[in-house]
Structures are given as C-alpha cells and as structure tokens.
Chains A and B, each alone.
Chain A
Amino acid sequence: MLDLLWLVPAIPFASAFVLAVFGPRMRSKAVAVLGAGAIAVPAVLMLLIAAAFVSAPPAGGAYTQVLWTWIGVGSFRPAIAFYLDALSLVMVVVVTFVSFLIHVYSTEFMRGDEGYSRFFAYMNLFVASMVTLLLADNLLLLYLGWEGVGLCSYLLIGFWYQDPVNGLAGRKAFIVTRVGDTAMAVGLFLLFHSLGTLRIQDLLHTASDQWQIGSPYAVAAAALLLGGAVGKSAQLPLQTWLPDAMAGPTPTSALIHAATMVTAGVYLIARTHGLYELAPQVQLAVAVTGAATLLMAGCSALTQNDIKRVLAYSTISQIGYMFFALGVGAWGAAIFHFMTHAFFKALLFLAAGVVIEALHHEHNIFRMGGLRKELPAAFWTFLIGGCALAGLPLITAGYYSKDLILWSAANSTAGTAGLWVAGIAGVVLTSLYTFRLIFVVFFGQPATPVSHRPGPAMMIPAFVLAFLSITAGFATTPFAAFMAKALPELHEGGMGMSEVINSTVAGLAFLAGLLVAWYAYLSNPALGRAAATSRVGRVLHRFWFSDWGMDWFYDRLFVWPVVWSAKANKADIVDSIYTGLTRLAALCHRYFSLTETGRLRWYAAWIAGGSAFAVAIAMFL
C-alpha cells in the first residue's frame, strides 16, 4: 500500500496538466468530475495508506520512497523522494481530505464562471504542490512544493484577473512571501555548506552531532528558515499579504489561505524541530513572534468590516497560536491545532462563502444581518465553526487544541508566565471578534435580501467539516501518542500549573469575550458604536483597521524607493556614459569642421605653418 504514495501528488499534477491544456474545450461537468475526482482519489488513497501505516508501521517509524535523483553534482544529490512519518501522514491526510471537501464545494460555487477549468487546474496544482511540500524528503524538494503553493496562491488570488486590484493583491502575496523564501534559500545554502546534505533526517542527525546548543550556525540556520516560515504563514513582520489575499474566490481562501498553505511554515518548523532545539534563542523568537502576532491580528480582526478580512486576521492569529506552541516546544500541540484549525476555519470560510453568494457578493458585515432565519444551515455551521474558533469549552475541537497549547506554555521549560498571559488574552480577543461577527451577520435586522440559496454540493462539505470541528477534539490523547512517534514530547517544567486551573481560566476568558460581544453588539449596539467613535477608539480603530499601519510603513520604506528608482532610471544611467561619448564626438566634429572654410589661401597658410612647425620641431628637438 505504502508504495502507492507517489500517486498522491502525481494524480493532481497530471489532472492539473490535463485541465490546463484541454480544460477550455471540456464540458463543465467533465471539468468538475475531473477536478474533484483528482483530489478524491488521493484522499481515499491517503486514508488507505494511513490505515496501512498505523496497522503495520514501517521500520523506524518512517517510510521513504525514492523516485529519481533530481540533481547530481558532486555530493549534492537531492532526490525526488517522499518521506512519510507520523507528522507528514497527519498533515497529508488532513490536507487531501479538506481539499477534497473544498473541491466539491467549488464545483457549485464556481459554476458558470468563465475560467471554470482554469480554476480547477490551479486548485489541483495547489494540492499537488502542497502534498509535495509535506512529503518532501529533502529541503530542496520541500522548496519546490513551497514555491509551488506560493505560485498557486498568487494565481488564485488574482483569479479574476480583469480587475487589477486582484492582480495587485496576488502580486503582493507572492512578493511578500518570497521575501521570506529568499531568507529560507540562504538558509538552505548555509545548511548544505556546513552539513553537506539537504535530506531532512540526515540534516537533523548531523546537526545534533556537529553543533553545540546555541552554536552560531544553528542559530543562523534556524533563523533563516524561520524567515521563510513567517512569510508563508503570515506572521509578524510579513503578515501584510494575507488580508489582501481575500480578493481570491472564497474556496481558495478556505483552502489555501486558511486551512493548508498558510500552515506550511508551522510544518517547516516542526519538520526541522531538531534545529530549533539547537537554537533556543530562535525558538524563543518563534514563541514571541506567535504571541505578538496572535494579539496584533486579534486586535485588527476586531475592526474589520469585510467578513473575509475578519476571518483572514483570525487565521493569522490562530497560526500565531501554532507558532506559539512550537516556540514553547509543544510540537504535537501545534500540529493538533493545525488540524482542528483546518477543519473549523475551512468551515467558517465555506459558510461565509454561502452568505456572500446568497447576498450577491456582499462582503460588508454591516450590510448583512438577521440571516439566522434566512440561511439556517449557514448559520448553524458558521456558529459551530465560530464556537470552535473561539474555544467553547468541553464541546468544540478548538477548545481542546488551544487548551493544550496554553497548558504547554505554562508547563514547558521554554514557556514563561508572560507568554501564557498573552495566550489567555488572545482567547478573550478571539471570542470577542468571533461573536461580534456572528452577532452582526446573523442577528439583528436584515439589511440585504437573500437572492440565492446554496445547493447540496456546497452544504454537505460544510456539514462534514462541522461534524469534524466538534469531534476532532475528543481525539487529543491518541493524537498526542501518535505524534510522539515523530516529534519530541514537551519538556515539562516551568510554572507547573494544573490542568484544571488552566482550563478554567481559558473557559472564563472565552466567556468574557462572548459577554462583551453580546453586550456591545447585540443587547446594546449603541455602546459598540460609541466605543469606536470616541477619541481613543477612533485612533485605535484606524490603527487596527490598517493592520497597525504596517502597509503604510512598508510602502514608504521598501515599495516606493524601488518603484521610484526603477522609474527614474528607466533610460539607464549607464547608457548616458556612451551617449555622452557620442555627443563628445559630435561636438569635436562640429568644431573641426569649422576649419573647413573652403578658402584656398587659408589651407595653404595651414600647410605652411604646419611645415614650419614640423621643421622647427625637427631642428630644436
């Protein structure tokens, strides 16, 4: 069974190719069947592989499949090879499964679009790249998948290319993530230069043999990889692209910009966890980045009007939790949160997509309202997703995963009280912005009439995800045991807080957020408005609404100078050296031609003078 692993990325690649070349001539039904089917087969295959993997674990807890040697120069021989262990298994199963659901959803959501086959070609290419990223046995192949998903993200954000705004958003996403990728590439050079291999497992072994804890090489390598991770996962300081990425079709936002691609950074850090253990300073930086991001993005989410932008900031914030978990050494908890987040955030986007389509592509939450009765299915699924996101205690999956992260922060040798408090504050914020969204969109007075109701292809995936958003949380213990095969367990220590206290505080934090949202947006809406229009509120609102002004800052610091210098130097200043030479020649020509008067006697005088001069030189020198 395991040797069929290569089919998991190969099938979507092949189908993406077929759709790109022949898609425009295929009937839309055929496109839908091929597009979704090309994900269904790998998803099923992956479940079978998972079953085989669990029932008969391969030797060493990992299975490697080498297809061919990709590049061969001296000792640099990265292969096209796949590596399956508990970590990549969980990631791939979740990714293929969620992708399949979203593809089914898209068959209806995108129906009638001019670029129907193009959409599925891009989406299949994305799944193939994402699976390649997750299964890669060496960092170079991982980089291939990494850039591949970035490309698909770019293509899908700018999917509706007639509007230049979408194109610009896509370009921004691609460039900002590539800033991180550049750091990551340099990290790859460093790792190969000092360790002589890019195979991840060899790399980790050699690194722990050769490098001391805190060695400058380890710190540099871990920091450079972290650069790639924060770019892809939209963490500080490279998070600015994700809110704009919401310009893409909603299934894209659900799949790429919520459930899967943006967690690639989390995967990268978990995959190379050995490096981070050798570089505790960088690991602390991961935790601090996560904590700062989850708070900042939470504040920004509070002020947004666009339903998808709220969800985008919440994604940034939740990935912040994952980084936070990685940073305190709770590797398994981070992956667990990845899984539950994939379910509930995909669900939220799918439900939001239903709402958006029902209201004729209305994105502003303040022009929604009262949809509880009109779209009950969307309401209930959104509510379940929202509760999971906010962490409704004891029932939802999000509660269990977040609770685990918070507990780890308190009980890890790498954790601190400050980090734990930040995590709890994040829970309040999450609950607050989630219920603000739910109350504004689904309660209150209807503002826009409903024009379109979703069909089964859109609702069934949402129901499945809603089911998982609740039940996945009950798998905490077996999940942790399974993850322990691939990732180190938490180094317990630190504050030694008991589970009960931690859970109680987290639950209270959830309640606090809920109550404030209820009070300010449902029972007493004037209060919410008053808070936003007071002097402090206005400043904060503007500040948070514009993502802490970071776009403004980056525009002035990086974008404008580059664009300006490129525009100013369009004609190439170096060329003026050469045109200057030709000007000089022309000038000389003009002056010398002045001596050509046409007067015979003048010429004769020159000849005479010249000869006299020559004779004089001959005589006196």
Chain B
Amino acid sequence: MLPIRESFILAGILFTLGVIGVLARRNLVFILMSIEVMLNAAGLAFVVAGAQWRQPDGQVVFLFILAMAAAELSVGLALVLELYRQYKTLDTDVLSRMRG
C-alpha cells in the first residue's frame, strides 16, 4: 500500500518543480521537459488515488496522460526543431512576438 499522504506531497513537489521549470527556463526544450514533469506529477497523483480507493480509473487516466504526453511531445519537438531552423535560437524571450 502506498502511503497516500507522502505520495501526494511528492506529486505536489514534482508539479511545483515543473511549474518553476516552465517559468524559469528560457530554453524551449527545457520548458517542454518541465511540462513532462508536471504531467507525470499529475499521473502519479492519479495512480496513487486509484490504488487508495481500489479503482482502476486512476491507472486508466494515467495511460491517457502518457498517450497525450507522447503526442504533445512529438508535436512540440517538431515545432521546436522548425523554430530552431528559422531563428537559430530557442530562447523564448527572443522568440516572443506577442507584445502588442
């Protein structure tokens, strides 16, 4: 039996690390990696919760998350490659064009 409390704290820490990564890193590749960390933190929470209440749903959702993360990562990396080819940089502050 997984201790639920500690597992949630771990998931929280992982998620926070992911958030900090997204916010603090300027390189797109690292941002993508941080997003993966956040996704996995959420997945962990699901699995733990599923085990706690003896429901298969938690693991089912985790499988969804995995699939989605893979899809997202492949699209994301493709975009990153394309961006790098055009701008020769992956610094988000340089790439930002949203300033109105």
Surface stretch bound by B, among A109-117, A514-522, A597-605: A597-605
Surface stretch bound by A, among B3-11, B61-69, B91-99: B91-99
Q: Which chain A residues lie closer than 8 Å to B93 at the CB level?
A: 599, 601
Q: Is A572 an interface residue (CB 8 A)?
A: no
Q: Which chain A residues lie closer than 8 Å to B100 at the CB level?
A: 596, 598
Q: Is A608 an interface residue (CB 8 A)?
A: yes
Contact present for A604 and B22 (CB under 8 Å): yes
Tell which of A597, A599, A601 has the most Cβ of chain B within 10 Å.
A601
What is the size category of the interface that chain B forms with chain A?
Answer: 10 to 19
Contact present for B99 and A601 (CB under 8 Å): no
Contact present for A601 and B23 (CB under 8 Å): yes
Would you list 13 pairs from A and B whose C-beta atoms are within 8 A, ordered by A residue?
Answer: A598-B96, A599-B93, A599-B96, A599-B98, A599-B99, A600-B92, A600-B98, A601-B22, A601-B23, A601-B92, A604-B19, A604-B23, A608-B19
10 tightest Cβ-Cβ pairs between the two chains A and B: A598-B99, A598-B98, A605-B23, A608-B19, A601-B23, A598-B96, A604-B22, A600-B92, A604-B23, A599-B96
Q: Which chain B residues lie closer than 8 Å to A599 at the CB level?
A: 93, 96, 98-99
CB distance from A605 to the nearest CB of B (A): 5
Q: Which chain A residues lie closer than 8 Å to B98 at the CB level?
A: 598-600
With A598-B98, A598-B99, A601-B26 given, can you name 9 additional A-B contacts, CB distance below 8 Å?
A597-B99, A598-B96, A598-B97, A599-B96, A599-B98, A600-B98, A604-B23, A608-B19, A608-B23
CB distance from B10 to the nearest CB of A (A): 18
A372-408, CB < 8 A from B: none
CA distance A604 to B24 in the complex (A): 10
User: Closest residue to A602 on the B side, CB-wise?
Assistant: B23
CA distance A599 to B96 in the complex (A): 7
Q: Which chain B residues lie closer than 8 Å to A600 at the CB level?
A: 92, 96, 98
Q: Which chain A residues lie closer than 8 Å to B22 at the CB level?
A: 601, 604
User: Closest residue to A608 on the B side, CB-wise?
Assistant: B19
0/1 per residue, B66-86, Cβ < 8 Å to A? Answer: 000000000000000000000
Q: Which chain B residues lie closer than 8 Å to A596 at the CB level?
A: 100
Q: Which chain B residues lie closer than 8 Å to A604 at the CB level?
A: 19, 22-23
A599-621, CB < 8 A from B: 599-601, 604-605, 608
0/1 per residue, A508-550, Cβ < 8 Å to B? Answer: 0000000000000000000000000000000000000000000
CA distance A600 to B99 in the complex (A): 10
0/1 per residue, A434-460, Cβ < 8 Å to B? Answer: 000000000000000000000000000
Q: Which chain B residues lie closer than 8 Å to A597 at the CB level?
A: 99
CA distance A411 to B34 in the complex (A): 118
CB distance from B3 to the nearest CB of A (A): 21
CB distance from B92 to the nearest CB of A (A): 6
